[in-house]
């Protein structure tokens, strides 16, 4: 009880600081552009840390350590895919998207695509924004559920009250300050996250090395992976092709009595599936791409690139190590829920007050994603659908007021969806996001940037085909055999190239 009290005090102090910072930054928001994209005047270091906090959410603190705990070295392929995608985005895309946003004077992700393909810009706005808003409703709802579960596990608060508490923390300053408040509070979240991902591995290695033999499962990461078995200690271990799995049954049917082919294909498919996270980072995640677009100038874009790259490499290394340290402390089957490995490791290694601050990083990650998704959805809806439908220009105050009202309404709808919809439905739809949104829009962004022949009708067909393929592929269960993250990118790319060559560009007089 005493430990919980100390952790609670730390978390309350932290969240109070976040809320005050959010409202302080919100005072500087004067226009709809300020609300939507900070007037495209975001310092590079703010953009970099905000993008990283938003991009990782609870993935780097719960998901990746949990996967590393469950599979050992195999999870390196997922990390490689993610890191490669993030580095590609920061090194190749970030400065180009910043320049493009300035060139077209855009305030939203879809607005950039629409103005780049002006001949059918209206329809791109309708199709793109509607798609993003629909899927991100559920994405925001998933963050509310995750926050509620975190508070329930830490303090025994009922999940619904935990969800309401998260909403109460996120919504007020998000409505008030929009993108500016969100990005500046993200910076604090990113700092807490990176401190956690540096401190925990260092403390864990020291802790294990000072323990006598037999006290824990293993006294080093190497020993832990070795003792856990081949499925943990090799990059393509026994966990790759599980006996009786859908993948194994399918391959055996295709290649009966040819065990080496089945094993080799199984290994390749699993590695490709893990690496396929790469494709969603290539400009296709609107909540991340908007950070690139918001950077104030080219010099700041270079600074942001360096910070983003360094943060990513350190964070993913730390996340993997936390999972492997968990194997050493608890053994490969010592935890019922693998995604609790990070909180369990932290409470084992640190004083409750310090653990409370570091565990706050989980809640921080959830909040940074929730408010970023809310702002993205509200600006897409208000700027690309509601305002154009009005058919007349809005003054600055009216535009800002509309953006705030839409943000509040969307947050309320997301909360209702999270409460009344089955949790498995929420997470199923979120599962569509990385492929249906990420892989699909990555193709659109890449071709818009690098292929002059690519045109608006092809862009619309790319979006529609990618989304439809993702929904069909996942809903029929085929995603269990070969991930839609990879196949959606391929299908969307094929449709994009064919439609560009087969359909003439519409010329607007």
Using CA atoms, how far residue 338 sits from 69, 204, 219, 261, 350, in Å, is 7, 17, 20, 32, 20
The verdict on residue 508 lying in a domain is no
Where residue 392 sits, what CATH number does that domain have? Answer: 1.20.1730.10
Asked if residue 269 belongs to a domain, the reply is yes
Residue 186 forms part of a structural domain? yes
In a domain? residue 57: yes
Residue 245 pLDDT exceeds 60: no
- Say if CB 93 and CB 79 are below 8 A apart: no
Q: How many domains does the chain have?
A: 1
Q: Measured between alpha carbons, how far is 110 from 445 in angstroms, rounded to an integer? A: 10
Residue 155: pLDDT above 90? no
pLDDT at 417: 83
The residue-averaged pLDDT of 423-434 equals: 73
pLDDT at 194: 92
Residue 324 lies in a domain: yes
Question: Domain for residue 361, yes or no?
Answer: yes
Confidence of residue 262 (pLDDT cuts 50, 70, 90): very low
Mean pLDDT of 170-186: 91
pLDDT value at position 82? 92
The pLDDT value recorded for residue 371 is 86
Residue 169 belongs to what domain range? 2-502
Q: What is the pLDDT of residue 468?
A: 93
* CA–CA distance, 230 with 232 (Å, rounded to integer): 5
Contacts for 260 with CB less than 8 Å, ≥ 6 apart: none
Give the helix/strand (H/E) hosting 228. Answer: helix 221-228
Q: Is the pLDDT of residue 16 over 90?
A: no
* Mean pLDDT, the chain, integer: 86
For residue 509, the model assigns a pLDDT of 44
The model's pLDDT over 40-49, given as tens digits with 9 standing for 90+, comes to: 999 999 999 9
The token pair that represents 113 in the structure block: 């695509």
Rounded to the nearest 5°, which phi and psi values hold at 295? -65, 140
Q: How confident is the model at residue 477 (pLDDT cuts 50, 70, 90)?
A: confident
Q: What is the pLDDT of residues 441-467, one digit of tens each?
A: 999 999 999 999 999 999 999 999 999
According to the model, what pLDDT value does residue 399 have? 84
Identify the pLDDT of residue 2: 66
Residue 171 tokens, joined? 């919504």
Which residues, 6+ apart, have CB-to-CB distance to 481 below 8 Å?
Answer: 246, 247, 250, 269
Q: Residue 420: which residues within 8 A CB-CB, separation 6 or more?
A: none
Q: What pLDDT does residue 113 have?
A: 96
Q: What is the mean pLDDT of residues 415-438?
A: 79
Rg (CA), the chain: 23
Mean pLDDT, residues 172-188 taken together: 92
pLDDT of amino acid 154: 72
The mean pLDDT value for 408-415 works out to: 89
Q: Which of 176-190, 335-349, 360-374 has the lowest mean pLDDT?
A: 360-374
| Rounded-to-integer distance, Cα 318 and Cα 314, Å | 6
Contacts (Cβ under 8 Å, ≥6 apart) of 430: 135, 138, 139, 142
Q: How far is CA 437 from CA 58, 59, 100, in A?
A: 19, 18, 21
Residue 385 lies in a domain: yes
**Domain assignment present for 507:** no
Residue 244 has pLDDT above 70, yes or no: no
77-102 per-position pLDDT tens digit: 989 999 999 999 999 999 999 999 99
Per-residue pLDDT band for 295 (boundaries 50, 70, 90) equals: very high
Residue 103 structure tokens? 């060139």
Residue 498, pLDDT above cutoff 60: yes
Looking at the predicted structure, is the pLDDT value of residue 297 above 70? yes
Separation CA 112–CA 126 (nearest Å): 13
């Amino acid at each position: 009880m005493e430990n919980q009290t100390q952790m609670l005090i730390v978390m309350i102090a932290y969240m109070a600081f976040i809320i005050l910072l959010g409202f302080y930054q919100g005072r500087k928001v004067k226009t709809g552009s300020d609300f939507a994209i900070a007037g495209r005047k975001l310092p590079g270091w703010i953009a970099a840390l905000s993008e990283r906090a938003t991009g990782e959410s609870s993935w780097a603190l719960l998901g990746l350590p949990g996967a590393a705990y469950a599979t050992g070295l195999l999870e390196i392929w997922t990390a490689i895919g993610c890191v490669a995608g993030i580095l590609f985005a920061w090194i190749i895309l970030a400065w180009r998207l910043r320049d493009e946003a300035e060139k077209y004077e855009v305030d939203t992700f879809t607005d950039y695509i629409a103005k780049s393909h002006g001949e059918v810009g209206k329809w791109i706005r309708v199709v793109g924004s509607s798609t993003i808003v629909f899927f991100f409703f559920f994405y925001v709802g998933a963050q509310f559920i995750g926050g509620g579960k975190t508070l329930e596990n830490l303090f025994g608060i009922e999940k619904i009250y935990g969800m309401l508490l998260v909403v109460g923390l996120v919504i007020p300053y998000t409505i008030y300050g929009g993108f500016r408040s969100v990005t500046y509070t993200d910076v604090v979240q990113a700092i807490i996250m990176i401190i956690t991902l540096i401190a925990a591995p260092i403390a864990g290695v020291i802790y294990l090395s000072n323990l006598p033999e037999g006290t824990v499962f293993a006294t080093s990461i190497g020993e832990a992976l070795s003792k856990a078995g081949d499925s943990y200690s090799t990059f393509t271990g026994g966990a790759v092709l599980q006996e009786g799995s859908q993948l194994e049954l399918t391959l055996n049917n295709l290649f009966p009595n040819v065990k080496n082919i089945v094993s080799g294909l199984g290994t390749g498919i699993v590695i490709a599936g893990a690496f396929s996270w790469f494709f969603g980072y290539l400009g296709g995640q609107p909540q991340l791409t908007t950070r690139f677009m918001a950077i104030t100038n080219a010099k700041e874009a270079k600074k942001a690139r360096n910070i983003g790259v360094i943060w990513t490499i350190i964070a993913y290394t730390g996340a993997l190590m936390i999972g492997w340290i968990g194997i050493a402390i608890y053994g490969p089957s010592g935890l019922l829920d693998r995604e609790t490995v990070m909180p369990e490791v932290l409470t084992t290694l640190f004083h409750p007050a310090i653990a409370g601050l570091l565990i706050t990083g989980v809640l921080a990650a959830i909040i940074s994603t929730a408010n970023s998704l809310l702002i993205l959805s509200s600006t897409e809806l208000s700027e690309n659908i509601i305002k154009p439908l009005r058919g007349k220009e809005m003054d600055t105050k009216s535009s800002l007021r509309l953006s705030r009202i839409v943000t509040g309404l969307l947050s309320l709808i997301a909360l209702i969806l999270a409460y009344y919809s089955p949790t498995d439905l929420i997470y199923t739809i979120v599962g569509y996001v990385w492929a249906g949104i990420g892989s699909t829009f990555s193709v659109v962004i890449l071709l818009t940037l690098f292929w002059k022949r690519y045109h608006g009708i092809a862009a619309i067909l790319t979006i529609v085909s990618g989304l439809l393929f993702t929904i069909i592929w996942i809903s029929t269960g085929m995603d269990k055999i070969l991930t839609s993250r990879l196949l959606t990118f391929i299908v969307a790319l094929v449709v994009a190239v064919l439609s560009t060559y087969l359909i003439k560009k519409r010329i607007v007089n």
